[in-house]
Chain A
Amino acid sequence: MYKQQTLSFKLKTLNSKLLSLSNEELKQELLNLHPSLIFEEGGDWMNMFIDPLEWLSFAKQLRAKENLFFDYLFCLTCVDWKTHLTMVYHLSSLRYHHNIVVKSKLNRENAQIETVCRIWKTAEFHEREVFELFGVNFLNHPDLRLLILPEGWEGKFPLRKDFEDPVNMIKL
């Protein structure tokens, strides 16, 4: 097994040195995949907005397409802008070393989006955390329940901006 590992490892590092897309090429490829992406300027990495209903198919293509190959989801979080919630996914490719940030706007009352834990297994824990802290429902998640908060905190969503807890929180 050691010899197989060494060979596949050498092939993988070789690949990364050959094909690495520049920013313009990357933008074009992504637009080809999904013409309705909205790009946002500013920031280190390319930011784009996508509709939550189209997220799962876009994510599958990001992972599967050979010259994109985003295999490393390194940050999954949510931001509460008081009128809506935004899911933020930071993706990276360990083969080609390009990074993108995909965002998706959700309604506050009925926040739901498809889960991507079947594509990137790290999302399973991260999505549970976002579910308990913000209240975003992840459709088809295998095990959506409280991870970090104690029992009895199901409906409370502490990281939302309108969270009030006069018992526990002592304001400065």
Chain B
Amino acid sequence: MDVKSYPSNAQNSNLAFPGQIHQTPGGGILTSKLDDVINWARSNSLWPLVFGTSCCAIEMMSTASAKYDWSRFGFEVARASPRQADVIIIAGTIVNKMAPVLKRLYDQMGDPKYVIAMGACATSGGPFFYNTYSVVKGADHVIPVDVYIAGCPPRPEALLHALITLQEKIKSGATREQIKIDGTKI
């Protein structure tokens, strides 16, 4: 369903930015409304994967518990198996030994899947950026990330804000899943 796709002459030089979204000429009312409904449904019931490596995992658990409850927003069931999860929240530092495990988990998740990089360590290596031989400086060296959260550790409200941002991103149709160039995904 390529509602937003480039015109057929892809060699055209006024395609400055590869992620630009072009509307099909004449619209496509039925298919775009269906897309809206599907996006709404997907964004309001994202199931996170239980994946916390270090300190940010405690703030993630706080977000799951009674005071900052994330199940109000649809993240009710945190699944342990990647086959049943929609979004992976990378909470904690990724090190060289863990990176293949993360890649394998990401590959096992079924489409559509989204990634949130929580905390400074997952965004860029964080406090462990300089003079470490074993830290991957940012989880986006391993898997593509949709939303980054700053903080060490970020407050539960920051994580909720990121989850709501992800929901809005899905509804607007701008996540990696939904942008297609010439019929193929980025």
Residues of A within 8 A of B (CB): 149-150, 158, 163, 165, 168-172
Contact = CB atoms under 8 A, between A and B. Distances in A.
B133 A168 contact: yes
A168 B130 contact: no
B133 A171 contact: no
B135 to A, nearest CB: 8
A42 B183 CA distance: 74
B8 interface: no
Interface string B126-170: 000111111101000000000000000000000000000000000
Given A150-B96, A150-B97, A172 B130 contact: yes
Given A150-B96, A150-B97, A172 B131 contact: yes
B131 A171 contact: yes
Nearest to A172: B130
Interface residues of B, number: 10
Nearest to A146: B97
Nearest to A168: B133
A59 to B, nearest CB: 32
Given A149-B134, A168-B133, 15 more contacts: A149-B97, A150-B96, A158-B134, A165-B133, A168-B96, A168-B135, A169-B131, A169-B132, A169-B133, A170-B130, A170-B131, A170-B137, A171-B130, A172-B130, A172-B131
Nearest to A169: B133
A52 B161 CA distance: 59
A47 to B, nearest CB: 29
A132 to B, nearest CB: 12
Contacts of B133: 158, 163, 165, 168-169
A168 B134 contact: yes
18 contacts: A149-B97, A149-B134, A150-B96, A150-B97, A150-B134, A158-B133, A158-B134, A163-B133, A165-B133, A168-B133, A168-B134, A168-B135, A169-B132, A169-B133, A170-B131, A171-B130, A172-B130, A172-B131
